[in-house]
Structure 1
Amino acid sequence: MYELSILRWIHIVAMVYWLGGEWGVFQTAYNIVNRKLSMEERRRHLETAYRIDILARTGIILLLPLGLHMGHIWGVQPYGGTALVVMWIAVAIWLSLCWAAFFFRETDKGIRLTKIDESVRFVLIPVMMICAIGTFLGYGPFATGEGQMWYPTKIFIFAWLLVIGLKLRFIMREWTVIFRQLAQKEDEVLEARLEQQIRMSRYLAYLYWIGILTVAFLGATKPF
C-alpha cells in the first residue's frame, strides 16, 4: 500500500504538470504569433513555451508507466515483475531522449531528436488502442471484471490524447523551423502559416483539456 501511495502521488504531480503545462504553452503561443511584437520578443516567448512544455512532456511520458505499475497492484493489468522493470528502463531511455531534444532545441540535432521522440508514439499509440479494444471485446490483456472497465477506457482515451498531443508537437516543431527562417528575413507567407496554426491548435487544445480531465476523473473515481 505504501508503494501504491507513492506511485499515486507521482501520478497526480505528473497529471498537474501535463494539464498546467499545456495551458501555459497555449497562452504563450498568442505572443509567439503576435506581429506587433519584435522578433526578439517573440523568440523569448517561444523559449518560454519550450521551458514550460518540457515539464508537460515529462508528465505525459511518466503517466503511462505509472498507470501500468499501479494497474498491476490493483490487479487490472497482469504484467508485473520483470515486465515492469523492462518498462521502466524503456521509459527512462524515452525520457532521456525527450530531454536531449529539449537541450538541443532550435538546432538541426534537436529537430532530429524530436522526430525520434515522436516516432516512439507512432508505435505506442496503436499498441495502446489495440490493447484497450481487445479488452473491450473480451480478449484482454486487461481485466474485465465488475468495476474494472474504467482501466481500459482510460488507456483508450489516453491513446487518443497522445494523438492530439502528437499533432500539437508537430505544430511546435514547425514553429522552430519557421522562426529560423523569419530570423533571416520577413515573410508574409510564414507569418500567415503561424497564425493558421494557432487557430488550429486552439480547437485541439480545448479537446485535449477535456480529455485530460476525463482521464483524471476515471482514475480518481473508477466508476465502472
Structure 2
Amino acid sequence: MDLALLTLLHLLVFVYWLGGDLGVFYSSTILTNAKQSAAARVAAAQVLAQVDMAPRTAMILTLPTGLTLAAVKGWLILGPFSLALIWVAGLIWLALAWVLHVRHLSPTSILRRADLIIRWVVIAALAILALNLWPNTSGLPLFLKIKCGVLAATILCGLMIRRALVRFGPAFGRLVQDGASPEIDAQIARALDESRPLVVTIWLLLLVAAFLGLAKPL
C-alpha cells in the first residue's frame, strides 16, 4: 500500500475516533438534561448509538493501519503473511462489532463475550509490545512502544466505561416505558457522570498518541 495513502488512513482513524467521541459526549448531555422531554432524550440516545460506531470502528482499525505503517517504515518486522492475518483479524473483529450494534444482543450472549475476550487479548498484546517482550521488537522506537501502551490504555478505559454504564440501560428503558421521573433522571445522570472522566481520559490519551506519531521525539 502506498505510504502516503496508508498514513492518511491512519490519520483519518484518529480524526473519526476523537470526532465521534465528541459527538457522543455532547449527545449524552441531552440525555441527562431533565428539562428535555422524554421524546427528545430518546432521540438523542438514538443519535448517540449511531455516532458511537464511528469511534468504535476507528479504534479497531487503529491496529491494522498502525501496525502496517510501522512495518512499512521498518520499525516492526512483519512479513506480508503476518500483515494479511492482522488485517483479516481486524476486519473480523470490526464485523463482530457491527453485528453487536445492529442486533442489540444481550451482555451475556456468546458474541458479546467473544468481543470482550478479543479486547482483553488486544490489551495484553499491546502491553507486550510496549514492554518490548515480543520477538523481533528490540529495535522498536520508544515512541512506538509508548503508543502501544497508550492504545492499550484507551481500550481498557472503554471497558471501564462499559462497566460504569451497566445501570444506564435499565434506567433508560424505564424512561422510555414510564417517562421521566426524579429517580430515573438520577440513575441516568449517575451512570453517565461515572463514565465521563474516562471519556476525557481517552481524549487525552489520543492526543498523546497523535503527538508521538507526528513528532516522533524518542
Taking the aligned partners of 2:66 and 2:41, their CA distance within structure 1 comes to 37
Most deviating of 53-62 and 184-193: 184-193
Aligned counterparts of 2:116 and 2:174: Cα–Cα separation in 1 = 23
Write the distance in 2 (CA, Å) between the matches of 1:21 and 1:111. 27
The correspondence for 1:132, drawn from 130, 133, 150, is 130
- What is the CA deviation profile of residues 51-77 of structure 1, one whole-angstrom value per residue up to 9, with x for unaligned ones? 111011111100111111111112222
Which residue number corresponds to residue 101 of structure 2?
102
1:121-155 CA-to-partner distances (Å, cap 9, x unmatched) read: 1221122112211x1xxx4436444x821111110
Number of residue-to-residue matches in the alignment: 216
CA contact (8 A) 1:101 1:110 kept: no
| Structure 1 residues 16 and 40, CA gap change in structure 2 (3 angstroms) | same
CA contact (8 A) 1:72 1:79 kept: yes
Does 1:223 find its partner at 2:217? yes
- Find the partner of 1:175 among 159, 168, 179: 168
Seen in structure 2, the aligned counterparts of structure 1 residues 182 and 111 have a Cα distance that, compared at 3 Å, is farther
Unaligned runs of 5+ in 2: none
CA RMSD between the two structures: 2.3
C-alpha distance 196-89 of structure 1, shift in aligned 2 (>3 A): same
Could you tell me whether the CA contact under 8 Å between 1:143 and 1:149 is conserved in 2? no
Residues 9/111 of structure 1: CA separation in 2 closer, same or farther (3 Å cut): farther
User: What corresponds to 1:11 in structure 2?
Assistant: 10
> Which residue pairs with 2:190 in the alignment?
196
User: Would you say 1:149 and 2:148 are equivalent positions?
Assistant: no
Q: CA deviation at 1:17?
A: 0.3
Q: Which amino acid aligns with 2:67?
A: L
What are the within-5 Å matches in structure 2 for residues 49-128 of structure 1?
Answer: 49-105=48-104, 108=105, 112=109, 113-128=111-126
* In 2: Cα distance, 1:88 partner to 1:177 partner: 36
**Matches of 2:136 and 2:146, distance apart in 1:** 10
Shift of 1:173: 6.3
The one-letter code matched in structure 2 to 1:125 is: I
TM-score (structure 2 length as normaliser): 0.88
Q: Relative to 1, partners in 2 of residues 1:204 and 1:31: Cα closer, same or farther, differing over 3 Å?
A: same
Give the letter for the 1:83 counterpart.
S
**Deviation by residue 1:22-51 (Cα, 9 ceiling, x = unmatched):** 111011101112222222211100011111
Percent identity of paired positions between Structure 1 and Structure 2: 30
